Each structure stands twice: as C-alpha cells, then as structure tokens.
Structure 1
Amino acid sequence: MAESRYVHEYPGAPEGGGEIISVAEGSPFDDAGFTPGCRILSVDGNSLRDVLDWRWYADGEEITVAYVDTEGEAGEVDLFRDEGEDWGIEFDGAVFDKIKTCRNACVFCFMRQLPEDARASLVLRDDDWRLSFLQGNFVTLTNLTEGDFEEIVERHISPLRLSLHCITPEVRRKMIGKHAPHGIEMLERLLDAGIEFDAQIVLTPGYNDGLELQKTLTWAYMHPGILNIGIVPLGYTKHQRSFEKSYNDVDAALDVIDTVEPMQKHALAERGFPWVYLADEFYCNAYPDSLLEHLPPTEHYGNFEMFEDGIGIVRTSVDEWESCAEQLEHLAEVLEEEDARVYYIFGEAQRPCMARLMEEAPTKGRLVPLVVKNNHFGGNVDVTGLLCGFDVAMAIRGISAHDYVVLPKIMFNSNGYTLDDMTVDDIRDTSGVPVTVVSCSVPEYLAEIEELVVGY
C-alpha cells in the first residue's frame, strides 16, 4: 500500500464501506497498492453507504481515502488522477449497507408466492431507491424518508423506476397496503422537484384494470416527469390461494390491448411515441395463432427502454431471426451434413413466436423447439427465464445421446444456478442427457450451435 497518513492493525477491522473486487492496471488505486479484497470506508471523511456515495464524493481529481486492506490494516491515503481519468476500481455490489426492504403488502407480490424452500436471495423483498437508479429495480417510494428525498433531489438522481400500479386511494390501499398514500405523496414531491420516472403497472384482474387503469394512465400522462409506463400482467404461482387467473386467455388479453390503444395513439400523435407499453405476454395471449401478424412493429418500442421488463423481447427476437436468413440456411446445411438434431429449450410463452419461427425455418426438423412447462412454480408462470432445472431435466429425458440439447443462459444466474438451485451438471445427471448453455441472442446462439455440432 502507498504511504499512508496512519497505518495500524487491530482485531476486528471496522465494518462498512465497500469491498473492491477489481483494480484496473495502471490506475490511481493500482499505483497506490490496492488489491481486490481491500475495503474503502470513506472519501474525504464521508462514509460510504453505496456506489452513489462513492461517485458523489470521489468526483474530483484529488481525494483522501480511508481503507482497510486485506491484512486487516486500516489507513488513509491521498490519491490523485488526471482530468478524465477513472479511479480504476469496481465494488462488490451497489449497496454497502443494508438494502432497504419493502414494507408493503402488495396482493400481487411474486416473492410471497415462492415455495417455502426457495433460497433467501429470491425472497428478499427490496424496495431501495438506490437500486432503482443503479440496477433498474422498481420501487414504490412508500419507505422513502426525508433524508432520502433530500439526497435524491440534491444529487438529482434521475430517472428512477417506479411501481405505480394504480392511483385511486382506496384501490391503492387495497392493492399495496396502508403505506400506499406515502408513496404518492413522495412521488408528487419528487416530480415537482424535477425527478423523472419510468413507471410500471402490475395489472391484476379485478383490482387495477378496466376503468381504474384508464384513470391511472390519465393521471400519469398529466405528469410529464413520468417518462413512460410499462404494463405487465399478474404472475401467480401454484404456491398461493389468492389468484386463479390473469390475462392468459384471448378475450382478457384483447380487452387490455383495447383499453390501452387509445392512450398509445394519443401519445403518439402528441409526443411522438406511444408512452405506454404492454408486456409481450398480452400480445402472445391475445394472438396465440397469429402473433407475428399482430405484434407491434420495431419502431413502436423506441429505444426498448423497458426491455428487461419483458416489453419488446419478442419483437427483438423476431427481428434478429429474420435478419439471420443466410445464417439459418448455412446452419441447415451443416446440421444436414452432420446428421444432427438440436433441441433448444423454451418456456411455454415462446410457443406463438420462436417455436413457430423454428417450425417454418430451413432448419426445421434439425433445430427443434422444445417447449417446457413450468411445474416448479405452476400457475401462469411460463417465460423461459423462470424455467427450473428439474422441469427441464424431466422434459429432455429420453432424448437420444446422439442429439444435442441447448439451454438459454437466461435460465441461470451469475453463479450458474437455476431458480431451483440446479447447475448444468445437475440437469445432465438428472436427465441422463448432455446439455450446453448458449446465448439468448439469435445470431449468437446459431453460431454457437454450429460450433457445438461441428466440434470446433
């Protein structure tokens, strides 16, 4: 470590601050001797609770950093950087102190519908405005303090991602709980202070659809700081007793589309973009046999700002598939020459889209969509990203060892586990069938499949 103002060892180094996980070679922190595992406690005397604090206090070209190194030694060091130079470190996580958890009682909460043996990270109900800005999580603002409000406004932390859901007070209380009014109060104050929001509505039958949805959209449209709204359908599992339906049947999905289209047309005419967007499930459910003819065009989604919420993923997949015509022709030849058959795993939600495209492609019969039912969660959970390892293993049992099975990487977290804590090896051992993880991007997984089959 570089020469410090003071250095001393002591049992039980102070907690707090952020742990470094990488140091760029030649950076100021590298020159000072920092390595992964060191913990940064403060900058210029200001303690660090999160990455936002770090960015705020380390904005200059000279800082004084308090640290604890990997040997348990604490110290302070002055660091310098050139104009425009990065400090050169990354932290282990965006939040260094405790994540702000949810205090609501939302009737649609998916995490309260998980199996009792679900791992702890899956049932953590965060409602942290910092993660909203840094990672795109949606927050209700019902736990926002005055200190939080002042920090957001002072630092102009914008846009945030907002769980709006509904606007009528009694409906909000019924859907969200007793703290719902505080969320709207804070929202209006933040909007008045110039903070902008990307909003989400979890549409729940009998609660916030129909007339209530129209009221909510009208209210939100009157607040220009609400940049756009994404509407996603209620997701429910078999591990609850409150819901038995969502918008999975044709008529229910069409009703939602018909409710939203007038606002989309009005916004398009007045603002130049639809402003309110429906999750792909609504179109898949409304047009199970003719989705490709009714799916909104690419330009409808603008910059795909709400892609991670399942809005525009199907359109992107279709566009990518259609742009890969030559690659598909080539892959068809390769599969034929190698006498190979490849099964690509999908959730049931992809049946109207990718399953149909594969059945109509030159690779038909060689690149085969294998649609897997989600028995682990049950209910109406049918997207590929929520598929579980055991369900996949059961679905592929009996497939010939001479064939190939590929799994989209969206099934796995960063540690390589599915939502039921299975790895690729676990799926292979349970099914007795070799499996390979590939990209979710069409051009990428087509290339990966060719490499897999040819063996180079």
Structure 2
Amino acid sequence: MECKACAGVREYPGDPARTAAVILEVEEDSPAYDAGFEPGCKICAVDGHPLRDVIDWQWYSADDEIGLSYIDLDGESGTVVLEREEGENWGITFDGAVFDGIRTCRNACVFCFMRQLPEESRDTLVLRDDDWRLSFLQGNFVTLTNLSEEDAELIVERQVSPLRVSLHAITPELRKKMIGKHAPHGVKMLERLLEGGIEVHAQIVLVPGINDGDELKKTLAWAYTHPGIENVGIVPLGFTKHQTRFEKSFDEPDDARAVVEAVEPFQRYALEDRGHPWVHLADEFYCNAYPGDVLAHIPPASNYGDFSMFEDGIGIVRSQMMEWDESADAIERLAGALEEYDAHVYYVLGAAQRDCMAAMMDESPLAGRLIPLIVKNEYFGGNVDVTGLLCGCDVAHAIRGVSAHDFVVLPRIMFNADGYTLDDMTVDDIRDTAGLPVTVVSCSVPEFIEQIEELVAG
C-alpha cells in the first residue's frame, strides 16, 4: 500500500512538490540502523509532516518516538515507528540541507559577483541562491526579498535565529536602484522578523558613489536603532574584468581611508554603549588604506569577539597575526630545518596578502627561505586579489619560474571540498601544467608551519 505522505514525490531539484529527504549515511546501532534504513532511502514525512529541509527534520523529530514515512531502495513505501533513549541521535545524515530545491535570487543587484563570472564557469558558481534556510544553516547572506508570509511566520514561531541578511542601503529608491523592484519587500520582512525576536547579522556591500558617504551613515544609523541587528559587516565591491559597469572600488588609499574614518565614530559609540564595536570593516579596507603599514592599523582582537565574521573577510589578518605570534617557537624550528636542508619553500598568496602574511614572512627568521609567491589573478581580473579566489591557471603560470629544487605549497583555501579550484583544476592539474610538484597545506599558521617542516625533512 502506498504511503500517502510519499505520493507525488519529485526527483528533480527546484520543485516545491519534492518532499523526500535522501539519506546519505546511517550510524551503526542507531534507531534508524535498527529499523533497517540504508543510504539512498528517502524520508518523506515525520508524523505526517512533509520534510522540506533539515530545519523541518529537527523540528518534527524532536520527540523520542516518531513515525517516519519512507521509500526504500526497492521503491516500496511505508511508515515505521522509531524510538530512542533520551538524548540519543536518530542516526540519520541527509544528502543536503534542503530537500525541495534551493530558493534562488529574484533580484537584479548591480554588484552581483555571480553575474561577473566567465561564461565557462561551472553551474554551482553561478547559482544565485537567496534561501533563508541556507542563511541559518550555512551562513549565507540573503535579501529576504523572496520571503513569503508563511515562511516569516514559521521563522518567528520556531525562532530560527540568527539569520544573515544583506542590507546594503536603507533609502527606498536607492535600494531599488541597487537591488531591484523587490527591495521594499526585503526591508518589510526584515522588520517583521526583528519584531518577532529574530537576531540578524547584516552585511553591506559598499559600492563607490552609490551607497557610501552619507547613505552609509544613514543605513548604519537605521540599523543601530534595531537592537536585533547584532552586528554589521561592510565589504567592498568586488568586480571582475568580465563586466563593463565598474572600474573602481575602494582600492586607492584615500578612498579606503574615507570609509575607515566614516565608520570609526559608530564603532566608538557602540563600544561605549554596547561593549563591542558593532560595525566591522572587511580587512581589504585597512589593507588598501594603509599600504606598507597594514599590520599597525588592524583593529585589536577584542574588536572581533569570537571572529564569527571570519568567512566574510573580517578579522582574518588579525587572526593570522595572533597565530604568527603564538607560533614563534615553531617558526624558529622551521627556520632551522630550512637552513639545515638548504631548502627554499614558495608559499602561494593572492596580492591582497602582500602587506599582511607576506610581510610577516619577510620580517621573520624565515625570510629568504619561506618565500611568499604573490600571484596576480588574471582569470577574474578587476580588483579580485584574495588568495581564496586564486585560480589554477594563474598559479601554474606563476610557479613555472621556480627552481625544480625548491618546494611550492598552495593554501587549502584555493580548493573546494572536492579538490577543485574555481577554474576546475586539481592539484595534479596544476603540477602537470607547471611542470613542478606542488603540495597543499593548511591556512592555519601553526598547521602549515608544521606541514612545511615535515615536507622539507622528507
């Protein structure tokens, strides 16, 4: 007999009718294992409630006895009751966080980076998601312009918090200019969620001549009057050579310093009023504002709290500085090992790290042995210069001039979970193209220091 909760299940993503959650792994000796579930089985509902995402699963499976509607590996459907001890895990890991397809962006943001990518970019790079569930589960920023009334009620009811929200600007007409015709709906939904007790981490992509200057101050003042906005991160416009709209961001010292100086009064006030700076600038602003002297101007560690905005490029340099200082003994040991083996190691970095990590290497006992290899991003062009966006083709070209007797190491941040760079090259591809062996190392200072020592000692 067919399970009613499983009827109408769709196999393709993006269809709201697709309600099946595919099991990726089953923990041995767990309730799910004992019930006979295997990887590939589908869960359609919990106690009759269809599953759209992991959030639904966590909400509906909170009790210690649940009824699971399923489709097994033979295509047979049914329902089984699972029981567990208090605090025990059900033992199920799902294939993905959302089961009914990712909700995509319906905006026309003038600064959209995905629209600036080369035509040959893989599909996952140009997918413009705007899914509030991924904001909660994975830290993605969303505009809320596609948020339905039903979802807003669900978020408040379940207190799904915090969310990461793209704010950008608060003046209505300017928001429409930057984001598109749905911009007002995003603010309406944001205010509704805040009133419902949802905490928000906001982001502003700063575009010169559009939402900087007085508009930035106005936006920050509006955000500060909404206590649910826990903090604001400001990142500069990033643009590639594969577009014609932008020619500059905040790459010049005067432009970057103007932003730093505009934000500092808000930081001082918030520090006194709330005990933390509240608004944070991406590291690029400091790197561009104070070329050659960046390390002296990076805010103290106390400004960054638990470094929760690390993935947004906020606090990375300060974190590296702290790790570098804490690794002084290991650095001395590595310097001795490099000297003993007469070894030279080239560490690949994006141009944004010239005055940061590269400067720390050059001013340390490792100078002349651990050599920063600064790679210009020709693949994307524009002002793209961070290490994490380096592409294999540019790296391979840059290391062709390195001696075959030297070592070349690549930071892991260049590669995705499947081991590919943004231009779909693997470590082996880079090695074959460059004609030299290369090794991937951690981005953590103590870890890559240890890994490099092991590499040269062979």
Query: Shorter-normalised TM-score: what interval?
Result: over 0.9
* Residue 432 (structure 1) aligned with residue 435 (structure 2): yes
Q: Which of 226, 236, 253 is matched with 2:256 structurally?
A: 253
| Structure 2 SS opposite 1:308 | helix
Q: Which of 333, 339, 344 is matched with 1:336 structurally?
A: 339
Q: Which of 241, 245, 253 is matched with 1:242 structurally?
A: 245
Distance 1:12 1:430 in 2: 49
Distance 1:6 1:125 in 2: 37
Structure 2 counterparts to residues 164-203 of structure 1, below 5 A: 164-203=167-206
* Residue 31 (structure 1) aligned with residue 7 (structure 2): no
Distance 1:11 1:400, change over 3 A: farther
Structure 2 counterparts to residues 196-215 of structure 1, below 5 A: 196-215=199-218
Residues 171, 215 of structure 2: 8 Å contact kept: yes
Distance 2:285 2:10 in 1: 51
Q: Which of 438, 449, 452 is matched with 1:449 structurally?
A: 452
Q: Partner residue of 1:153? A: 156
Distance 1:172 1:399 in 2: 49
Name the aligned partner's letter for residue 386 of structure 2.
V
Q: Which of 71, 83, 86 is matched with 2:86 structurally?
A: 83
Distance 2:8 2:234 in 1: 48
Distance 1:24 1:282 in 2: 46
Residues 345, 370 of structure 1: 8 Å contact kept: yes
Q: CA deviation digits over 1:137-160, x for unaligned, max 9?
A: 001111111111111111111111
Distance 1:11 1:307, change over 3 A: closer
Q: Partner residue of 1:399? A: 402
The TM-score, its normalising length taken from structure 2, stands at 0.96
Gaps of 5+ in 1: none
Q: Partner residue of 2:15? A: none
* Residue 53 (structure 1) aligned with residue 64 (structure 2): no
* Residue 410 (structure 1) aligned with residue 413 (structure 2): yes
Distance 1:196 1:12, change over 3 A: closer
Distance 1:40 1:438 in 2: 39
The TM-score, its normalising length taken from structure 1, stands at 0.96
| Structure 2 SS opposite 1:395 | helix
User: Once the 2 structures are TM-superposed, how far is the Cα of residue 70 of structure 1 from its aligned partner?
Assistant: 2.6
User: Once the 2 structures are TM-superposed, how far is the Cα of residue 99 of structure 1 from its aligned partner?
Assistant: 0.8
User: Once the 2 structures are TM-superposed, how far is the Cα of residue 283 of structure 1 from its aligned partner?
Assistant: 0.4
Q: Which of 60, 65, 81 is matched with 1:62 structurally?
A: 65
Distance 1:71 1:316 in 2: 51
- Range with bigger deviation, 398-407 or 349-358: 398-407
Structure 2 counterparts to residues 220-369 of structure 1, below 5 A: 220-369=223-372
Residues 29, 87 of structure 1: 8 Å contact kept: yes
User: Once the 2 structures are TM-superposed, how far is the Cα of residue 13 of structure 1 from its aligned partner?
Assistant: 7.6
Distance 2:74 2:9 in 1: 10
| Structure 1 SS opposite 2:356 | helix
Distance 1:214 1:291, change over 3 A: same
Residues 283, 291 of structure 1: 8 Å contact kept: yes
Q: CA deviation digits over 1:404-450, x for unaligned, max 9?
A: 11111110011110000000010011100111111110000111111
Q: Which of 62, 71, 75 is matched with 2:74 structurally?
A: 71
User: Once the 2 structures are TM-superposed, how far is the Cα of residue 103 of structure 1 from its aligned partner?
Assistant: 0.6
Residues 13, 73 of structure 1: 8 Å contact kept: no
- Identity between Structure 1 and Structure 2 (%): 68
Name the aligned partner's letter for residue 304 of structure 2.
Y
User: Once the 2 structures are TM-superposed, how far is the Cα of residue 73 of structure 1 from its aligned partner?
Assistant: 2.7
Name the aligned partner's letter for residue 82 of structure 1.
E
Distance 2:275 2:157 in 1: 31
Q: CA deviation digits over 1:118-143, x for unaligned, max 9?
A: 10110000100000000000011111
User: Once the 2 structures are TM-superposed, how far is the Cα of residue 6 of structure 1 from its aligned partner?
Assistant: 7.9
Residues 18, 41 of structure 1: 8 Å contact kept: yes
Residues 63, 80 of structure 1: 8 Å contact kept: yes
User: Once the 2 structures are TM-superposed, how far is the Cα of residue 197 of structure 1 from its aligned partner?
Assistant: 0.4
User: Once the 2 structures are TM-superposed, how far is the Cα of residue 260 of structure 1 from its aligned partner?
Assistant: 0.1
Distance 1:319 1:325, change over 3 A: same
| Structure 2 SS opposite 1:208 | coil
* Residue 96 (structure 1) aligned with residue 99 (structure 2): yes
Name the aligned partner's letter for residue 315 of structure 1.
R
Aligned length: 450
Q: Partner residue of 1:110? A: 113
Distance 1:305 1:144 in 2: 25
Name the aligned partner's letter for residue 425 of structure 2.
M
Q: CA deviation digits over 1:378-398, x for unaligned, max 9?
A: 000000000000000000003
Residues 13, 72 of structure 1: 8 Å contact kept: no
Residues 197, 228 of structure 2: 8 Å contact kept: yes
User: Once the 2 structures are TM-superposed, how far is the Cα of residue 38 of structure 1 from its aligned partner?
Assistant: 1.6
- Range with bigger deviation, 83-92 or 235-244: 83-92
| Structure 1 SS opposite 2:165 | strand
Name the aligned partner's letter for residue 131 of structure 1.
L
Distance 2:172 2:262 in 1: 21
User: Once the 2 structures are TM-superposed, how far is the Cα of residue 363 of structure 1 from its aligned partner?
Assistant: 1.3
| Structure 1 SS opposite 2:57 | helix
| Structure 2 SS opposite 1:352 | coil
